[in-house]
């Protein structure tokens, strides 16, 4: 059976530290917009940590939720694209083919998770910052949409290596940059079609919820809501 990549994010572990955000920026050559462009809402973050305030002082509470592309099975972004730049891969990813993209931005309008970003200008790296660019990830130019890929370059590299070694991929053998760095291990990544994988086991848990699942987008990212402490349970 073909692989189907998925992720579980345990919000009871997530501390909102944003290590995932910076790791993603480093791995995927996400440019910095600068203060002026950022103030126009043009900063690009393939993954972000949303925060929600609840209640009033002294009972104020805060909840964090890392939001990245949910890699939906019924992705609203895909059918809207006139050039098939936004398409579904055989391994369940919502891929973006940059050289097909003509920048209609229909996909960004269609996405309920607002995880697609438009390049309003050609990215600039003040030299020698360009030396840190990851050669395995293409740099996006003005006029195209970009988004989280589940670090498809890492997926490809691991699959090619496993094939060369004539073996199966091991669960947890590689991870996207966000999952790899997460200090409290709030994120788990793997093949949902492998019933023995950790991510498949967790996705079957009764704690599993989907973000805006009621929209019928069938996301492949699963969230575990924060739990509350119960006296006597520890």
Q: Under the criterion CB under 8 A, does residue 184 sit at the interface with another protein?
A: yes
Indicate the residue among 90 and 132 with the shorter CB distance to another protein. 132
> What's the CA gap between 13 and 24, in Å, rounded?
19
Indicate the residue among 10 and 191 with the shorter CB distance to another protein. 10
Pick from 9, 72, 182, 221: which binds another protein (CB under 8 A)? 182
In angstroms, give the least distance from the CB of 181 to another protein. 5
CA 161 to chain centre: 23
| Rounded (to 5) percent helix, strand, coil in the chain | 25, 20, 60
Pick from 1, 2, 90, 131: which binds another protein (CB under 8 A)? 131
Q: Under the criterion CB under 8 A, does residue 139 sit at the interface with another protein?
A: no
- State how beta strands 61-67 and 221-224 pair: unpaired
> What's the CA gap between 230 and 171, in Å, rounded?
33
What is the DSSP-derived secondary structure letter of residue 157? H
Indicate the residue among 84 and 129 with the shorter CB distance to another protein. 129
Q: Which helix (H) or strand (E) holds 162?
A: helix 152-164
> What's the CA gap between 173 and 117, in Å, rounded?
30
Q: Under the criterion CB under 8 A, does residue 214 sit at the interface with another protein?
A: no
Q: Under the criterion CB under 8 A, does residue 62 sit at the interface with another protein?
A: yes
List residues binding another protein (CB under 8 A): 10, 12-19, 21-23, 25-27, 32-35, 38-41, 43, 45, 48-51, 53, 55-58, 60-64, 67, 113-115, 126-129, 131-135, 177, 180-186, 224, 227-229, 231, 233-234
């Amino acid at each position: 059976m073909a692989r189907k990549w998925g992720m579980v994010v345990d919000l009871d572990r997530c501390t909102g530290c944003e290590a995932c955000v910076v790791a993603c920026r480093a791995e995927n050559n996400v440019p910095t917009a600068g203060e002026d462009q950022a103030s126009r809402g043009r900063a690009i973050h393939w993954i972000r940590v949303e925060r929600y305030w609840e209640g009033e002082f002294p009972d104020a509470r805060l909840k964090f939720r890392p939001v990245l592309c949910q890699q939906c099975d019924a992705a609203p972004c895909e059918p809207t694209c006139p050039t098939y730049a936004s398409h579904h891969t055989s391994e369940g990813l919502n891929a973006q083919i940059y050289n097909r993209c003509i920048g209609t931005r229909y996909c960004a309008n269609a996405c309920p998770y607002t995880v697609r970003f438009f390049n309003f200008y050609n990215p600039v790296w003040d030299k020698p910052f360009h030396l840190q660019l990851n050669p395995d990830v293409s740099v996006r130019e003005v006029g195209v949409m970009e988004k989280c890929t589940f670090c498809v370059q890492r997926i490809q590299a691991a699959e090619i290596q496993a094939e060369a070694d004539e073996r199966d991929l091991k669960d947890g053998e590689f991870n996207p940059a966000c999952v790899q760095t997460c200090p409290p291990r709030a994120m788990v990544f793997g093949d949902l079609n492998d019933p023995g994988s950790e991510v498949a086991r967790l996705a079957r848990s009764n704690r599993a919820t989907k973000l805006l699942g009621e929209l019928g987008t069938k996301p492949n990212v699963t969230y575990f809501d924060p739990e509350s402490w119960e006296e006597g349970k520890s």
